[in-house]
Amino acid sequence: MTTRSETRTTLDHLLTEIEHRNPAQPEFHQAAHEVLETLAPVVAARPEYAEPGLIERLVEPERQVLFRVPWQDDKGRVHVNRGFRVEFNSALGPYKGGLRFHPSVNLGVIKFLGFEQIFKNALTGLGIGGGKGGSDFDPHGRSDAEVMRFCQSFMTELHRHIGEHTDVPAGDIGVGGREIGYLFGQYRRITNRWEAGVLTGKGQGWGGSLIRPEATGYGNVLFAAAMLRERGEDLEGQTAVVSGSGNVAIYTIEKLAALGANAVTCSDSSGYVVDEKGVDVELLKQVKEVERGRVDTYAERRGSSARFVPGGSVWDVPADLALPSATQNELDVNAAATLVRNGVKAVSEGANMPATPEAVHLLQQAGVAFGPGKAANAGGVAVSALEMAQNHARTSWTAAKVEEELADIMNNIHTTCHETAERYDAPGDYVTGANIAGFERVADAMLAQGVI
């Protein structure tokens, strides 16, 4: 049997090769490191995972699509953006993962997100593979007509590569209900098919699922609650800091309040708000979802309990819980040290890879319960898969049924990660538990299906 140290050496060589084969993709390198550095125990215990080049295949996308997206603004000027779709792994089902429209999008970012999605989707147990896509287009400040023209141009190319049994995109940063509607309309126009299952996050009147907008935020709070229960505590009376003010952050704040906790912050690229009374979710929705405004507007309207801090770090605010819900690498080692000094009990990732590796290590060393995004924020893709199921049956479920299914899925993910970590001598390490549990499910399917 191969020892753990020998396996570790093999995995280190593979990581070096990944960096060589994928230059200038630091986010993808980081995601690959985070997973592979935890796999030595399982590969040593089950050497069949190493023999058919399985891990080498796992870190190489099955397909990468890069295309031009030309579109006209309201003044008739032509712009050209790049479109991406990385179809990473379909061993468990059709590729599934969101579309991100943001200036920071590049191939390395999409590959990191797609790689994470493989394991996240596997943890749901719902038979979906991993993929991700998007564009460096920035919808902020663009009119509805401009966003529509961009989405139509984007889908004109993307439609060739997706389908309800092939690849099912959803939303992500910069892609909400408006964008999904325009994308679906163009897909229907081009294909002449009402293929509701080709996109998730649709409007509730035309194939969408109740609780889908809330699912990522709700699920993250449920995972955080499960981590606290494991330590003999609950959410009642806890204070939380939440970053971001988009879909994930809003519904994280909403669910925290429903379970008796008090979220006192929200943020965007301009700075953050501290609201001593707790963030008013309805006001935040009005400012961010309806008016597409900034969080300083929230502070102005909220009154004396709220103050806006330009720039700075939301993690400077003392709290029992921290739920990063904005973007990757937003919580660095200095922020983690501040959270620890202020007595944080648990950190649960609502965004994808929002904590840097150094921050994660520091939090774990300090005994803080840490929920990695591939487990903690899997609620969004879980309800997307439930939306696919409803589309396939041409039916719709009640909000209560969807929320019940979501709660079961998140509790099962927590249990799986917790038990897997203990099985591999890493009790309480949800990062190791999530990585190994997701890997085992995908790896077993890949072995069964041969070298493809």
Catalytic residues: 132
Dump the DSSP string for 292-354.
---HHHHHHHH-TTEEEEESS-GGGS--SEEE--S-TT-B-HHHHHHHHHTT--EEE-SSSS-
Q: In what order do the strands lie in the sheet with 306-310?
A: 265-268, 271-275, 306-310
Phi, psi of 330 (to 5 degrees): -85, -15
Q: Which helix (H) or strand (E) holds 12?
A: helix 4-21
Tokens 């399982």 belong to residue: 42
Contacts of 152 (CB under 8 A, 6+ apart): 71, 182, 185, 186
Q: What is the dihedral of CA 118, 123, 125, 129, to 10 degrees?
A: 0
DSSP 172: B
The tokens of 419 are what?
């038990």
Q: Are 338 and 312 in contact (CB under 8 A)?
A: no
Three-state DSSP class for residue 93: coil
Beta bridge partners of 274: 265, 307
